[in-house]
Amino acid sequence: MNWSHLSARFFTSLSPAPPSVDDEVWVDEHLLPGERALWVQMNNQDRRHSVTVARRFLDARPDATREEVAGAILHDVGKLECGLGTFGRVVATVVGPRTARFKSYFRHELIGAHMAHECGSDPATVALIWGRGPAALALRSSDHA
């Protein structure tokens, strides 16, 4: 477990501020309408995180396709299902998948991939959200930087 990444993510999760207007515009350039509908359901903290990770991903993988960037933006969308806030996620991380909500938190990649598939995302987007495909390592590195 990468405690420095988790610690940094925790402290940035404390601010309720939404993504900047520039970030919102940038996201709109990379998401299909159904994908955008998923993204706006995420809380402000997760949306800010998704932009940070996707921008790092694009720096690491400058030839990334729109579909791959969409996957990077939506990489945590499956966390919507667990309904856990910052502190609930901390508890889940520490104690493991002991409850149904904690289990869905630990399965968020698969859940998010299913959500993306259902909204009409390209298979490459779905695969990346699930942590699969040629860009998966770049996404993982970008998420844990």
- Give the pLDDT mean for 28-41: 98
CA distance 71 to 130: 9
Model pTM? 0.90
Positive or negative torsion for Cα 144, 21, 120, 13: positive
- Annotated domain spans of the chain: 3-143
Q: What tens digit of pLDDT does each residue of 37-50 get?
A: 999 999 999 999 99
